[in-house]
């Protein structure tokens, strides 16, 4: 038996493993882009709740780029929300200098609200 064969109709090549021919398949090359916490959260959501979407991106070789874009968009939205909410509530460096604990409590509240908004609008959507 030949070690490698190619189907003339489909163009798919096969390699002999033990006594079976298995197709020589590989995923398309994908650029490695670092994925932050937002992208990782979205990936976990897709795996659990929308596996078909996850598989489509994975097998097309576009998952990493997609998750990097989600991560970037979520990070930008979070930063913008924190700045807007802090300005809206009058939390400035003056407040920080006057009462650090009050500033920390108020900023933590803003961070929590901004995180919830990003999760609802981008990550778990």
pLDDT of residue 19: 85
Within 13 A of 91's CA, how many CA atoms are on the CB side?
A: 21
Convert 8-54 into a string of H (helix), E (strand) and C (coil).
Answer: CCCCCEEEEECCEEEECCCCCCCCCCCCCHHHHHHHHHHHHHCHHHH
Q: Where are the domains of the chain?
A: 31-123
- The pLDDT-based confidence of 18 (bands split at 50, 70, 90) is confident
Please name every residue paired with 21 in a beta bridge, in sequence order, or none if there are none. Answer: 16
Average pLDDT over residues 78-84: 98
pTM assigned to the model: 0.77
pLDDT of residue 70: 97
Question: Chain-wide mean pLDDT for the chain?
Answer: 92
pLDDT of residue 63: 94
């Amino acid at each position: 038996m030949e070690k490698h064969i190619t189907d003339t109709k489909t163009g798919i090549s096969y390699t002999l493993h033990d006594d079976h021919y298995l197709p020589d398949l590989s995923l398309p090359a994908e650029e490695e882009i670092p994925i932050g916490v937002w992208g990782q959260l979205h990936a976990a959501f897709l795996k659990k709740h929308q596996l078909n979407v996850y598989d489509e991106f994975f097998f097309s070789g576009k998952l990493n780029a997609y998750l990097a874009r989600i991560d970037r968009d979520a990070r930008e939205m979070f930063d913008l929300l924190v700045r807007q909410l802090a300005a809206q509530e009058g939390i400035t460096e003056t407040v920080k200098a006057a009462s650090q604990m009050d500033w920390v409590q108020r900023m933590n509240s803003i961070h929590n609200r901004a995180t919830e908004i990003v999760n609802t609008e981008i990550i778990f959507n």
